[in-house]
Structure 1
Amino acid sequence: MNHEDARVAVRAVGAVTALGPDAAALWAGARDGRVGIRPVQRIDLTGVRTKLGGEVDALPETAHPYPRPGGYRDRVVELALHAADEAVAAAAPAIDRAGLERCGVVHGTCNAGLLSGREWLAAVDRGERPAPGLAAMSTPQAAAEALAGAYGFGGPVVAVNTACASGANAIGWAADLIRSGQADVVLTGGADAFSDVLFAGFNSLEALSAEPARPYSAGRSGLSLGEGAAYLVLVREDLAEPGDVLAWVGGYGLSADGYHPTAPRPDGSGAALAIGQALRSAGVDQSDVGYVNGHGTGTEKNDPAETSAIRTALGPAADDAVVSSTKSVIGHLLGAAGAAEALVTVHALAERTAPPTASYLGPDPSCDLDYVPLDARALDTRVAVSNNFAFGGSNASLALLRRDDDRRPPAPEVDDVVVTGLALLGPFGDGVAAARAALADETGIPADPEGRAATMTVDPEPYLTRKARRRMDRMTVAAIVTVAKALADAGIEDDERAGIGVVLGTSAGPVESMARFTRGVIADGAAGADPGVFPNTVYNQATGQVSQHLGLYGPTSTVSAGHASGATALGYGYELLRTGRADTIVCVAVDLVDELVVRAYRDLGVLSTVPGDRRFAITDTAVALVLERRGAAGQHGRRPLAELAGHGGASRVRPGGVSWDLTGDATTRATDQALRTAGLRPDDVTRIWPAAAGLAPADRAELAGLGRVFGDRLPVLRTPKVVLGEPVGPGGALTAALAADELGTDPQGGAALVQAVSLGGSAVSLALRPCP
């Protein structure tokens, strides 16, 4: 059941920051302007411009089981669980009313399990045999599934990786999951932890301040890094008692600058689009906004750009709104920043107090708003905005409403979502026809005692010049080429591109760049940090480069759900389109194989060496599908291949284990949800594209889950990954592209289901049907 005009309540919050171990400490410190940025104790900062950061004091080890390969405890998971404990405990009555299977997780992060990945990489380079699960813990989905496992949540479990905008993006997506009926309660927020790699990277960009950051101020000299975690529990309004509501999530907006890998668009126009969309989706006017919790990094370029964005989005009302930056007291929490700052904004509304911008020195002509310098101020507004803008030009803005505000979000103009363009690149070649030819010839991946893996060659011409791709990694080049091909396949002209959005799904992310940069730091400390590589280490850099080079400025996000990442990107794109946040979105999924990826899968014991050995081969793959609202496609005369009619997500995470869903329960519930949202019966489905790729226990569990939905009338199964190999994150996108192509050539053949399953217990199902 959909509840597009339902209100989504902030029911509870939790935080761990440099200001203390809970949300109360964060709010009190922010309100009082108490600066928690101080000398860092846990990390050797030799060669780094500053020794300061918003460091979290020592915490007791969490009692929750989560994967600890070789006994290693990842700090980002520890921070996440401590903050989430507070929020989940406070929201217990609402969680009980909803039931655990209706509770989901949307986790935001920039660096994911960087510490686990660093530990694994260092051991590999020393010639040691590290604990196999360390590499698996480096992915964004690992922490998301650790949270789900800790609390027994069985709803959708996903990670958002839009760098410094991740926390805000996660909160907005969580609200969407509730309004679309995918979940009734969602734990959402973000976490990131300090590392020598992180400090070395920002130091190489000369972005760090030698003193606590002074956002928007004259004399500001850079940002202060922070670490920590913050989570909100969002609930459907009927599950929260009126006295328990802290605030309402009115709406949110996403956009792409499409300008530069690290710098914002100077006029703030990209960020203004996100703010404007947040206000429209919440049904509030510019003049309603009384407070803005700004991105406010304290850097030379970001603060003036954000000031311009606020002025553009609010118009003359910007002079009456007050603005402040929470980063002035806790530093920049990266993927957790948006969540921590939303939490402060919730308290600011509830307590009618605007927290100050600490350490403010005086006005700068390029930053000419009221930044609440030094001391808190009384605040009488029902509407606040929280902004977060990121590397790669990813922008996210939240519109939050005071708990006594009774307005409802306007019901969106819902439309069907159709597939109008496809592009596939892999070892099989270029395009759907090449993939089908490989399947017809059963051209699989040959035996290899080191592990069956296949890579692809991507021709960047004519999409990228040699100069343009000089600092790009293979993942970014593959993403740009694949999206360009998909746009061409849909017949989209250059002058139609500006409003198009991009959602990218990836499991492993930019492994090539992360390894290259980290190895430099491990070998030579801060002096070994390459500023040309560091921007490519964030998961959304490929997304940002797609937007920049192809001129796509609509809603943008980067998401991860392990091997279900591609299917998750399609599900998110579907929601953004169906509710009118864009007319066209390209969903692209990319993961590439190198010797480190092969080593990681081989050590986990799931990588095949000979065909038929009950494990899977892995491959490079890039897939892009152009999704459009049916009305927009018709207006432009584009013929849809198929309709993406619905989707579902569910999880069954085993606490403390890195394992697929052994029962297939998550597959059953995700499939049921997809059928419900699509308005289909099991008898309407004539073919299923399962996640099956040869890993016998996982494939057997998935089949059992499907059997509970279809009984003894199981539709025809299409299993291309058994031949082509497991593309890791893009697997669901690959099979969705093949399914859409088949539906386009056989419109009388009935509906199709596409399945995807992560190795950690998350399942996604997509429902497609023909377009006559």
Structure 2
Amino acid sequence: MRRVLVTGMGMISAIGENVQQNHQSLRGGRSGIGKAAFFESLYAASLPFGEVKLSNQELKRMQQLETAPGYTRTCLLADKAFCEAIADAALTRGQLSSLDTALISASTVGGMCLTDQLYQDANHKSEGSEFLESYGCSAHTLKLIKRYRIKGFTDTINTACSSSANAIMLGARLIRSGRVKRAVVGGVDSLAKYTVNGFNALKILSESPCKPFDVNRDGLNLGEGAAYLVLEAEELTAGKKVYAEIAGFGNANDAHHPSAMSDEATGAIRCMREAIGAAGIETSQIDYVNAHGTGTQNNDQVEFFGMGELFDKMPPYSSTKSFTGHTLGAAGAVEAIYSILGIVHSELFPGLNVSEPIGGPAPVSQWRGEYPLNYVLSNSFGFGGNCTSLVFARV
């Protein structure tokens, strides 16, 4: 079976405009969670967010899209991260347009980041804006397809918070099975009234920076961002820079509740076990877990319990959502890149704001260098119980 290798990465988040800036922030323990400057909402003044530190106009200039119609913030963030990833992998226009190249993206809010404009257009209160074709979950994917002339298999996944982890999994499966030779995979989400109001109704938004796996955790912070990885079959990578291998993946759905995980961690345990099994390794070989770790009461307790059930000895773990906020459909890909950075640079990245851990062992609380990582497990658990785990391996 073909090995699937990562040859390119691109991202933008609250802690950096590219992979290098994100890495520097992780090393320095610099969180991007704070007061929103561009997001217009009743809650912008009272709640902290993981907002990208660029306006839409700045993003348009950066991507040379000043005159391009119908680009929502979701589309702009996706284009920025996608562009960095394909440049990093040195993909040519011909390779991007090849039928052997797939694009699998993910999002939860899509173009509904323009919540007010959508309301105006949908209720005939406007004459029709430039965004009429931009509200769907797949609108950003269609923009990428058109701009970069992608002709192979394409898809957009929405499985809530596990969306882009599932995009990575699908891309790896397509390559392993020989259906494609390479895949650009990832996801994007931007801050939106639609999601902020929805999460507020669930009463799981914190009024302070989130503290995953802390006894006194009181909710999550919503964030935004985009991240893409270029996956290629091993035979294409001779002489190329290679970051890591997609060694294993697992997906399970406990179907317990629309927005909560089962106390028994049924789906979480199963997907972690499947991912480790697919990688052909033992649980004891996992050197670090990039936990889903949202900072909510239910999620953190269930994930911690699930890891305790799976591992005889708990490996180091932490949640990098304390840096970026919960980027929803982008989270799986954002945290995949963080996991790979840890492998490449032999580093452990900390979870922030933990003063009283929910149990032992405590999550990693400080950056650690010269810490070799051979296998990293990254968890992404979505609403409806859709749970996905990925295993990344050193090459």
The bucket for the TM-score relative to the shorter chain is over 0.9
Cα gap change, 1:53/1:47 in structure 2, threshold over 3 Å: closer, same or farther?
A: closer
Residue 345 (structure 1) aligned with residue 339 (structure 2): yes
Q: Secondary structure of 2:287's match? A: strand
Report the equivalent of 1:82.
Answer: 80
Shift of 1:385: 0.4
Report the equivalent of 2:392.
Answer: 400
Residue 35 (structure 1) aligned with residue 25 (structure 2): no
Shift of 1:44: 3.5
CA distance in 2, matches of 1:177, 1:243: 21
Give the residue type in structure 1 aligned to 2:343: L
CA distance in 1, matches of 2:247, 2:59: 36
User: Does the Cα contact within 8 Å between 2:23 and 2:341 map onto a contact in 1?
Assistant: yes
Residue 181 (structure 1) aligned with residue 178 (structure 2): yes
Give the residue type in structure 1 aligned to 2:245: W
Match of 1:380 among 354, 372, 375: 372
Match of 1:331 among 298, 315, 325: 325
Report the equivalent of 2:49.
Answer: 53
Q: Secondary structure of 1:345's match? A: helix
Report the equivalent of 1:247.
Answer: 244
Give the residue type in structure 2 aligned to 1:220: R
Cα gap change, 1:66/1:283 in structure 2, threshold over 3 Å: closer, same or farther?
A: farther
Report the equivalent of 1:152.
Answer: 149
Shift of 1:197: 2.1
Shift of 1:145: 2.1
Give the residue type in structure 1 aligned to 2:34: R
Cα gap change, 1:50/1:385 in structure 2, threshold over 3 Å: closer, same or farther?
A: farther
Pick the structure with greater CA Rg. Answer: 1
Pairs within 5 Å for 1:686-725: none
Match of 2:349 among 347, 350, 355: 355
Cα gap change, 1:84/1:98 in structure 2, threshold over 3 Å: closer, same or farther?
A: closer
CA distance in 2, matches of 1:337, 1:142: 19
Cα gap change, 1:87/1:240 in structure 2, threshold over 3 Å: closer, same or farther?
A: same
Q: Secondary structure of 1:104's match? A: strand
Report the equivalent of 2:162.
Answer: 165
CA distance in 1, matches of 2:63, 2:374: 39
- For structure 2, list consecutive stretches of 5 or more residues without a partner in the other structure: none
Give the residue type in structure 1 aligned to 2:2: A
User: Does the Cα contact within 8 Å between 1:268 and 1:307 map onto a contact in 2?
Assistant: no
Match of 1:24 among 16, 20, 25: 20
Residue 322 (structure 1) aligned with residue 316 (structure 2): yes
Report the equivalent of 1:210.
Answer: 207
CA distance in 2, matches of 1:272, 1:28: 32
Pairs within 5 Å for 1:212-231: 212-231=209-228
Cα gap change, 1:47/1:60 in structure 2, threshold over 3 Å: closer, same or farther?
A: closer
User: Does the Cα contact within 8 Å between 2:107 and 2:163 map onto a contact in 1?
Assistant: yes
Pairs within 5 Å for 1:464-543: none
Shift of 1:374: 3.5
* Cα RMSD (Å): 2.2
- For structure 1, list consecutive stretches of 5 or more residues without a partner in the other structure: 404-772
Q: Deviations over 1:49-82 (max 9, x none)?
A: 94211100123305466996xx443000000000
Cα gap change, 1:108/1:206 in structure 2, threshold over 3 Å: closer, same or farther?
A: same
Q: Secondary structure of 1:39's match? A: coil
CA distance in 2, matches of 1:18, 1:209: 17
Report the equivalent of 1:236.
Answer: 233
Shift of 1:98: 8.0
Shift of 1:124: 3.8
User: Does the Cα contact within 8 Å between 2:247 and 2:278 map onto a contact in 1?
Assistant: yes
Report the equivalent of 2:363.
Answer: 371
Shift of 1:289: 0.3
TM-score (norm 1): 0.49
Residue 91 (structure 1) aligned with residue 86 (structure 2): no
Shift of 1:182: 2.1
Q: Secondary structure of 2:138's match? A: helix
Shift of 1:167: 1.1
Residue 13 (structure 1) aligned with residue 9 (structure 2): yes
CA distance in 2, matches of 1:376, 1:77: 35
CA distance in 2, matches of 1:134, 1:115: 11
Q: Deviations over 1:677-731 (max 9, x none)?
A: xxxxxxxxxxxxxxxxxxxxxxxxxxxxxxxxxxxxxxxxxxxxxxxxxxxxxxx
User: Does the Cα contact within 8 Å between 2:121 and 2:132 map onto a contact in 1?
Assistant: no
Q: Secondary structure of 1:13's match? A: strand
CA distance in 2, matches of 1:328, 1:113: 25
CA distance in 2, matches of 1:210, 1:97: 46
Match of 1:105 among 103, 106, 114: 103
CA distance in 2, matches of 1:12, 1:205: 37
User: Does the Cα contact within 8 Å between 2:112 and 2:118 map onto a contact in 1?
Assistant: no
CA distance in 1, matches of 2:37, 2:372: 40
Shift of 1:25: 1.2
User: Does the Cα contact within 8 Å between 1:95 and 1:103 map onto a contact in 2?
Assistant: no
User: Does the Cα contact within 8 Å between 1:323 and 1:369 map onto a contact in 2?
Assistant: no
Q: Deviations over 1:444-503 (max 9, x none)?
A: xxxxxxxxxxxxxxxxxxxxxxxxxxxxxxxxxxxxxxxxxxxxxxxxxxxxxxxxxxxx
Q: Deviations over 1:370-410 (max 9, x none)?
A: 4101433542231110000011111011011012xxxxxxx
CA distance in 1, matches of 2:368, 2:157: 32
Q: Deviations over 1:122-177 (max 9, x none)?
A: 2343633314x734322222211222222222210101101000011110101111
Report the equivalent of 1:287.
Answer: 284
Shift of 1:96: 5.6
Cα gap change, 1:376/1:258 in structure 2, threshold over 3 Å: closer, same or farther?
A: same
Residue 278 (structure 1) aligned with residue 272 (structure 2): no
CA distance in 2, matches of 1:97, 1:317: 44
Q: Deviations over 1:84-124 (max 9, x none)?
A: 11011111258766863321100011112213565233234
Report the equivalent of 1:302.
Answer: 299
Cα gap change, 1:261/1:350 in structure 2, threshold over 3 Å: closer, same or farther?
A: same
Alignment identity in percent?
Answer: 31
